[in-house]
Amino acid sequence: MLLFRSEEHAGMWRTARGFPDARTLSLETGWRLARAWYARKLEPDWRRHTVEEAEALFAELGLVDEFWRLR
């Protein structure tokens, strides 16, 4: 997951590097995703998200197409 100064630069990178299906996220969505994913990482009761939990989290953020499927 990389940062790009604009959608245009992200698109040029996709083409040059051969990842036509790469997806961009707004920083706001990326921040929400990071907080939901990692908020408990240093806590004693941390555990990995199940596939179902991860897909539900993606769905909450509107990330619902094939790209975000885990199975």
Partner 1 sequence: MIDPVAFDRDVRLTVAECIRERGAVPSLSELASRMGAADADVAASLGRLGAARALILRPGTSEILSFNPFAAGPTEFLVRAAGRDWSALCAWDAFGVAAALRADGVVLGRCADVCGVPLEVRLAGDAIGAIDGVVMQFALPAREWWKDIVFT
Residues that bind partner 1 (CB under 8 A): 1-7, 9-10, 12-14, 16-17, 19, 21-28, 30-31, 33-35, 37-44, 46, 48, 54, 58, 66-71
Minimum gap (Å) between residue 60 Cβ and partner 1: 14
Minimum gap (Å) between residue 5 Cβ and partner 1: 4
Task: Decide whether 53 or 67 has the Cβ nearer to partner 1.
Answer: 67
**Residue 14 and residue 61: Cα distance in Å, rounded?**
23
| CA atoms within 13 Å, Cβ hemisphere of 7 | 4
Residues near 60 by beta carbon (within 8 Å), at least 6 away in sequence: 36
